[in-house]
Amino acid sequence: MTEQLADTVLLDPQREQSLRTAGMISYLLHAVVAVGAVIPAFQPSVLLLVFAVILDLVKRDEAAGSWQASHISWRLRSVTWAGVLYLITVPLWFLFVLPGWIAWGLISLWFLYRIVVGWSAMNAGRAIS
């Protein structure tokens, strides 16, 4: 724990709580979209994910240097990679529906895994790499 503190900026309690609340909201929105992507009958709007990304981008400067900055980067990288992978696999939907469905299902499970891992680390007050 002391090694982690040596590498990060200590924030005042109010700012720390603000970042934690924003992080929890962002993880929740990511999770809703990720679960919706895995369960075919439940399709929440991608606007929830857009709102979460905007929230992370707004809070990124405030979190700079703190352990919570790693979570913002984690979430932004997760969304970026999932989006790229979804776009790359779009042709599978036009050529063969089943492979497209399988590819998107695996990407969605990977995205959900990243959200669960990140959220668990944030709840424990740990940075994520």
- Supply 19's token pair: 């970042």
- pLDDT, tens digit, for every residue of 56-114? 999 999 999 889 999 999 999 999 999 999 899 988 888 878 888 888 889 989 999 99
Q: What number of other Cβ atoms are within 10 A of residue 15's Cβ? A: 13
Burial class (CB in 10 A: 0-12, 13-18, 19+), 28: middle
- The torsion of the CA quartet 28, 31, 32, 35, rounded to 10 degrees, works out to -160
Domain-wise residue ranges, the chain? 12-123
Q: Is the pLDDT of residue 40 over 70?
A: no
Q: How confident is the model at residue 3 (pLDDT cuts 50, 70, 90)?
A: very low
